[in-house]
Chains A and B, each alone.
Chain A
Amino acid sequence: MNTASVSLGASVSSQSRFMQLALAALLGTFIIGFVGFSHIDAVHNAAHDYRHSMGFPCH
């Protein structure tokens, strides 16, 4: 993995950099999963129109 000449938080080591970015991506995945894929009825109903509009598998 090439390191960019300028990056956010440039001083961090490459391993720490990887972990932090992976953590951010994981957090994003978790959020999408909760809003778009959760089988909890209340969550489904609250985000119902959103799921339809976004083409998430619904019902």
Chain B
Amino acid sequence: MNLFRNVVFIAAIAGLVGGIALACMQAYATDPLILKAEVYEKAGGGHHHDHAAVTTNDNAMSSAVPADNAMSGAAPAPAEAAAPVEDEGWAPADGFERFAFNVLANIVSGIGFALILVAVSEFMGGIGNWRQGVFWGLAGFAIFTLAPGLGLPPKLPAMPDADLLQRQIWWTLTVVATAAGLGLIAFRKSLPLALLGIALIVAPHIVGAPQPDSFVTPIPEGLHHQFIVASTLTRLVFWLVLGAVVGVVRGRFTGTATSLRDSFA
């Protein structure tokens, strides 16, 4: 199990670095928007409240917000005692605990993504250096972020959605189909197979993602748009970092990274 151990080791380092980087970006870019959305969620939907307690925003993203917020400068107070969103079962307390669990989730699933990335890339000859890693990272971004995000854009709390299980099934099938399609295009030097690859990438979107019955939400359109941009960009950087780190660490391992088969570029 020598190979397995090496793969896990590389994935652990890459996932740790990528996960921490992503958690930092989220703390700055997406988490404040989620907290803002929870103010709307707690307000009970539909009507706007004028008393949503407010501390002024100090993050850079906030400059664009007030324009489309009905209430002025509405930022939530994260330390508020109210339980976060879902009222069933245990949930981390707002503030540090919630942040800590978010960091943990980022690292753990960062390692998960890295395991898949390293394992699949080893089948294709391995990621030789950080630049190849960046391209692999771009592929990961396209597979896990872009493709499912077209049909199921990232949502804020208090936004309506279709049945959870159906969305999870569509999300998974879209990821698998996109990965297979990209693989056919990148690693099979055949026009018919490349065309099949394109068809695989497009197919899930012709089928269409499960959509909610109603799109009515108290969340302002502008806030949601901002969230989509922040969520997508942070994940782009995450994937590039993940791929690059895998390339660097793997190079240290083999010591002969530059002589690897030029499997991608």
Report A's interface with B, CB cutoff 8 A: 1-2, 4-9, 11-12, 16-17, 20-25, 27-32, 35-37, 39, 41-42, 44-59
Report the bound CA distance from A59 to B217 in whole Å. 15
For residue B68, CB closer than 8 A to chain A, the reply is no
Task: Give 23 pairs: A residue, B residue, CB < 8 Å, sorted on A.
Answer: A5-B261, A8-B7, A8-B10, A9-B6, A21-B123, A22-B119, A24-B7, A24-B8, A24-B11, A27-B8, A28-B119, A32-B113, A41-B86, A44-B86, A45-B86, A47-B101, A47-B105, A49-B26, A52-B154, A52-B155, A54-B235, A57-B164, A59-B86
Among B44-52, B57-65, B89-97, B191-199, the stretch that binds chain A is B89-97
Query: Given A31-B111, A45-B92, do A2 and B167 touch, yes or no (CB 8 Å)?
Result: no
Q: Which residues of the partner chain A approach B84 to less than 8 Å between Cβ atoms?
A: 45, 48
Complex: chain A residue closest to B166, CB-CB: A57
B175 to chain A, nearest CB (A): 10
Q: List 17 additional contacts besides A9-B4, A52-B34, A57-B161; criterion CB under 8 Å.
A: A2-B125, A7-B125, A7-B254, A12-B2, A21-B123, A22-B119, A24-B115, A28-B116, A31-B108, A31-B111, A32-B113, A42-B91, A45-B90, A46-B105, A47-B109, A54-B231, A58-B164
Chain B, range 87-134, C-beta contacts under 8 Å to A: 88-92, 98, 101-102, 104-106, 108-109, 111-120, 122-123, 125-126
Query: Given A24-B4, A48-B84, do A4 and B261 touch, yes or no (CB 8 Å)?
Result: yes
* Total of A-B residue pairs, C-beta within 8 Å: 180
Report B's interface with A, CB cutoff 8 A: 1-4, 6-8, 10-11, 26, 30-31, 34, 84-86, 88-92, 98, 101-102, 104-106, 108-109, 111-120, 122-123, 125-126, 145, 148-149, 152-157, 161, 164, 167-168, 171, 231-232, 234-235, 250, 253-254, 256-257, 259-261, 263
Complex: chain A residue closest to B230, CB-CB: A53
- Of the candidates A21, A30, A41, the one having the most CB atoms from chain B within 10 angstroms of its own CB is A21
Q: Is the CB of A41 within 8 A of B260?
A: no
Q: Is the CB of A53 within 8 A of B31?
A: yes
Report the bound CA distance from A11 to B128 in whole Å. 18
Q: Is the CB of B86 within 8 A of A9?
A: no
B90 to chain A, nearest CB (A): 5
Report the bound CA distance from A56 to B253 in whole Å. 33
Complex: chain A residue closest to B97, CB-CB: A46
Dominant SS at the B interface?
A: helix
Q: Which of A41, A45, A52 contacts B30 (CB 8 A)?
A: A52
Report the bound CA distance from A25 to B114 in whole Å. 9
Q: Is the CB of A31 within 8 A of B125?
A: no
Q: Which residues of the partner chain A approach B235 to less than 8 Å between Cβ atoms?
A: 54-55
Q: Which residues of the partner chain A approach B116 to less than 8 Å between Cβ atoms?
A: 25, 28-29, 32
Q: Is the CB of A31 within 8 A of B260?
A: no
